[in-house]
Copies of this chain bind each other. A is one copy, B any other.
């Protein structure tokens, strides 16, 4: 093989403290924003209309937070997870500054944990990834861990390091947008409720379901310049574990977020990712529904408060009965995503 082709890193290629500068910075334009709308149909007013954003003091509509996440995440794939068996978890993710069309994002990651699995074939790699804009400001900072294949099963195991990651981001650490709350327009937002109208324990069925097509999830994943092979190659995946192309987990996050507009329309900002699990694979033809639970509310100084939300996506099962843990403690088999995050809402 030519030395020019990159095969991706294997478990033994990582070491604690290693810094990975990911390739291909990316300018996010109005083109990406429109495609994101076509792929998920989001209706949050702040991201949909310059007019609504400007009324709150923004120069124009910021880019959807999850689009920012996917673009940064995509950059990490060739170096971090090209040889991944599974994307295991997220923690301590914070959205730190808004991104606007025209901004260029670059990504880097630091290896913060390593633990070989007992089978000697794979190991878990923990990375702290950041996305920065053209001015050098960090716009996103998050941790994730993935199970990676070893190139050589006989390679020695590194000393295990498992980082101490918090169960949730402390609400005092959230980046709070500096908005002019007087410009908040509930008619544009599409729902009259405000921060004080949501209580911990409340569950919301987001009602609608959306069926996924192969062309959609592949266009989305390419839009993010995410090159993970399992999403694109039916010729090999047809011979693989599922016989199908696997859908990028982030596609489900964005579908669930978009569905959550119905009931969470005022939750226009994602401030942090506390944790998340892609609990089952999804495939073209699956219909995704979602429901959310308010886990916690946190009043903050200034015009917005924070809701800690758990959004659960399920497939081929309407969320009206909130599929979740079954009586035996196992998850309902329809559940494909369990995401814990902080969103902000005007008081």
Chain B nearest CB from A38 CB (Å) reads 4
Of the residues B208, B211, B225, contact of A43 by C-beta under 8 Å:
B225
Number of interface residues of A (CB under 8 A): 87
Provide the residues of chain B in CB contact with A233, threshold 8 Å: 208-211, 287
CB–CB B213/A232 < 8 A: no
Chain B nearest CB from A120 CB (Å) reads 26
Chain B nearest CB from A237 CB (Å) reads 8
CB–CB B5/A25 < 8 A: no
A215 within 8 A of B: yes
Provide the residues of chain B in CB contact with A45, threshold 8 Å: 23-25
Sample of 26 A–B contacts (CB below 8 Å): A1-B205, A2-B204, A4-B202, A4-B263, A4-B264, A5-B206, A5-B263, A6-B191, A7-B207, A23-B191, A25-B48, A27-B60, A27-B61, A29-B34, A30-B34, A37-B225, A38-B223, A41-B225, A51-B106, A51-B134, A106-B188, A208-B233, A209-B233, A211-B214, A234-B287, A236-B318
Beyond the given pairs A29-B34, A51-B104, A235-B316, 17 more chain A to chain B contacts, judged by CB atoms under 8 angstroms and listed by A's residue number, are A2-B263, A5-B205, A25-B45, A25-B52, A31-B33, A34-B34, A38-B219, A38-B220, A38-B223, A41-B223, A41-B227, A50-B102, A50-B104, A209-B229, A211-B234, A213-B213, A213-B218
A interface vs B, CB < 8 Å? Answer: 1-2, 4-7, 21, 23-27, 29-35, 37-45, 48-52, 60-61, 78, 101-102, 104, 106, 134, 187-191, 193, 197-198, 202-211, 213-216, 218-223, 225, 227, 229, 232-236, 245, 262-265, 285, 287, 316, 318, 320
